[in-house]
Structure 1
Amino acid sequence: MPLSREERETFLSEPHIAALSVDGGPGRAPLSVPIWYWYEHGGDVWIMTGRESRKYGLIEAAGRFTLMVDRLEPTIRYVSVEGPVVAVDPATKEELRKMSARYLPAEKVDGYVDFAWKEHGEQVVIHMRPERWVSSDLGQV
């Protein structure tokens, strides 16, 4: 059964690992990779990735991407959201810390942020405006 707007936005705002998909270019299947993301009700989705990454190059070329999040318990539920890129900004250490704190235990955040800021190269924050939603909770059938 499809989720209501409130249900799908609440689900997307939870810290799931997303599957990001973007057009893979001529003769290639879409690129699909796991990624951390940030979403708050009614806002844009944002992700962080390397400026030199294949993922960023494909997103830049396509101008849009899809995120899909799911869970298995207590019921099988998923939300997929697709839309255009509306902004790309250089990442800040504060954004990296905010995203890391969403996914990592508190005692791991500082160490990860210090490592990632030094070792992952230049990062960008990509903002996507949700346009199309597909969702379901298979336990509500």
Structure 2
Amino acid sequence: MALTHAEREQFLAEPHIAALAVDAGAGRAPLAVPIWYQYAPGEEVWIMTGAASRKYALIEAAGRFSLLVDRVEPTIRYVSVEGPVTGTLPATRERLTELAARYLPAEKVAGYVAFAWENHGEQLIVRMRPERWVSSDLGTV
């Protein structure tokens, strides 16, 4: 059964690991990789990725990407969202902390942020406006 507008936005706002997919060019399947993301209902989705990464180069070339999030407990549920890139800006330590705090236990955030900020190279925030949604709750199949 498809989720309501409010249900799908709330589900996407939860801290699931997303599968990001982006066109990888002629003769290639789309690039699909796990990624952390941030979303609040009614707003744009944003991700953080390396400025020199293949993922970013493909997103920049395609001008759009999709995210798929799912779970299997307590019911099988998923939300897929696709849309255009609306902007890219340099990552900040504050945004990295926000993202890490979404996924990591509180006591691990500062250590992760310090390591990532020093070792992951130049990072960018890529914003996407959700245009197309596909969602379902399959119940307790």
Which TM-score bucket, shorter chain as reference?
Answer: over 0.9
Match of 2:18 in 1: 18
- Deviation string for 1:7-44 (max 9, x for gaps)? 00000000000000000112111000000000001000
TM-score (norm 2): 0.98
Amino-acid identity (%): 72
Distance in 1 separating the partners of 2:140 and 2:22 = 30
- Deviation string for 1:62-86 (max 9, x for gaps)? 0000000000011100000000000
Asked if structure 1 preserves the Cα contact closer than 8 Å seen for 2:37 and 2:47, the reply is: yes
1:140 positional shift: 7.8
Tell me, what secondary structure is at the counterpart of 1:139? coil
Match of 1:72 in 2: 72
TM-score (norm 1): 0.98
CA RMSD of aligned residues (A): 1.0
Distance in 2 separating the partners of 1:27 and 1:56 = 19
Instruction: Tell whether 2:137 aligns with 1:121.
Output: no
Instruction: Write out the 4+ residue segments of structure 1 that deviate beyond 6 Å after TM superposition.
Output: none
Tell me, what secondary structure is at the counterpart of 1:16? coil
Which stretches in structure 2 are left out of the alignment for 5+ residues? none
Distance in 2 separating the partners of 1:140 and 1:112 = 36
Count of residues in correspondence between the two structures: 141
Stretch deviating more after TM superposition (19-28 or 60-69): 19-28
Which residue type is aligned with residue 78 of structure 2?
A: Y
Which stretches in structure 1 are left out of the alignment for 5+ residues? none
Distance in 1 separating the partners of 2:74 and 2:109 = 28
Asked if structure 1 preserves the Cα contact closer than 8 Å seen for 2:12 and 2:69, the reply is: yes
Match of 2:35 in 1: 35
- Deviation string for 1:80-136 (max 9, x for gaps)? 000000000000000000000000000100000000001000000000000000000
